[in-house]
């Protein structure tokens, strides 16, 4: 069935324009100058006067029903995609999970079982490789060839949970180079962060703001630079830095992109609008509502200004949500 949306302000990559939009099935068929759209038999006409008309959003980073910290993310694929549709997001890319010692194919199958028949919008999967070994590297080829998975996430953080060392990362990057896939990287120096966390705990510094203070921007930048270097050693494997929050990390990405490297990065709304002091530093345990990793950054520094500039300059290529909600009361 055709739909004609008239009178609205259409938002495109080149700006805002007064235009009418013809939709044929699930395809945007044409844009017309206001009032110049042809008559289409049986088309539903929607008057969008005074409204923006925006293409459906793609959220490239979500975590529905993710098991973490002894509980699960509180959005199911049903509830999360319903909320996404209300917000104008028509596709999500979630992360199927393999932990060290687990089977990659079984991890993907578990996510297909969670999502199948339960989503209100389109969905796809990235694959988290939490244990890089001969079997998981072999599985990467199989997922590219048979499952439509073309992106694999690794972690430089979370020792003992998802962490990969530099040798494992290099092997996975070489595999991605060979099979045409992309490596996504959680870029924080997890080994150094664990030292800072242990020292803070020994001093009794347990307020939520310390989550951010023990994950300094310098350790995000160091890991970002290291990931870029490893990708270059692997043969310029495509590299996607997830949830970038710090000016120094953005600088490393910008330098790589300026020299033609195959490096991309995303940021998220929380880093564009929220701060270490105002949210994580809220009195009492309220700050725990704002815990995320990478953490919120200080408003005393230039991170937010630089992230906005990075979006304007395309040094930051993507805005995603890293949607991974937990119930505070639980």
CATH match for 2-53 among 2.30.40.10, 3.30.450.20, 3.40.50.10540, 1.10.10.370: 2.30.40.10
Residue spans per domain, the chain:
2-53, 57-319
> Is a pLDDT exceeding 80 seen at residue 330?
no
Of 90, 6, 14, 85, nearest in space to 53 by CA: 6
Percent over 90 (pLDDT), the chain: 89
* pLDDT over 80 (residue 329): no
Whole-prediction pTM: 0.93
Instruction: Output the CATH code of domain 57-319.
Output: 3.20.20.140
In whole angstroms, give the CA distance from residue 47 to residue 192.
56
> What contacts 95, CB < 8 A, 6 or more positions away?
61, 62, 63, 66, 111, 125, 126, 127, 128, 153
- Structure confidence at residue 210 as a pLDDT band (50, 70, 90): very high
Summarised one tens digit per residue, pLDDT across range 220-276 is 999 999 999 999 999 999 999 999 999 999 999 999 999 999 999 999 999 999 999
In this prediction, residues 66-94 reach a mean pLDDT of 94
Least confident stretch, 36-40, 41-45, 161-165: 36-40
């Amino acid at each position: 069935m055709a739909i004609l949306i008239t009178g609205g302000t259409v938002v495109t990559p080149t700006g805002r324009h007064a235009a009418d939009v013809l939709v044929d099935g699930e395809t945007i068929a044409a844009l017309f100058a206001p009032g110049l759209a042809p008559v289409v038999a049986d088309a539903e006409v929607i008057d969008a006067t005074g409204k923006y008309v925006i293409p459906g959003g793609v959220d490239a980073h979500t975590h529905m029903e993710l098991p973490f910290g002894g509980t699960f993310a509180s959005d199911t694929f049903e509830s999360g995609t319903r909320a996404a549709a209300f917000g104008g997001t028509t596709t999500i890319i979630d992360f199927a999970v393999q932990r060290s010692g687990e089977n990659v194919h079984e991890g993907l199958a578990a996510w297909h079982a969670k999502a199948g028949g339960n989503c209100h919008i389109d969905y796809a999967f990235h694959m988290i490789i939490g244990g890089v070994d001969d079997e998981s590297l072999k599985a990467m080829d199989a997922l590219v060839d048979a499952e439509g998975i073309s992106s694999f996430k690794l972690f430089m953080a979370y020792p003992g949970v998802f962490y990969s060392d530099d040798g494992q990362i290099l092997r996975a990057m070489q595999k991605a180079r060979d099979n045409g896939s992309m490596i996504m990287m959680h870029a924080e120096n997890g080994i150094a962060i664990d030292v800072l966390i242990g020292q803070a705990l020994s001093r009794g510094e347990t307020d939520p703001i310390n989550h951010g203070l023990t994950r300094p921007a310098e350790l995000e930048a160091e890991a970002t630079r290291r990931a870029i270097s490893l990708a270059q050693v692997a043969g310029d494997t495509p590299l996607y830095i997830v949830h970038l929050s710090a000016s120094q990390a953005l600088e490393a990405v910008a330098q790589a992109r300026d020299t033609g490297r195959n490096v991309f990065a995303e940021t998220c709304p929380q880093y564009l609008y929220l701060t270490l002091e105002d949210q994580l530093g809220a009195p009492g345990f309220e700050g725990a509502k704002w815990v995320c990793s990478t953490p919120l950054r200080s408003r005393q520094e230039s991170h937010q200004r630089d992230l906005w500039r990075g979006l304007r300059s395309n040094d930051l290529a993507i805005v995603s949500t890293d949607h991974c909600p937990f119930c505070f009361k639980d």
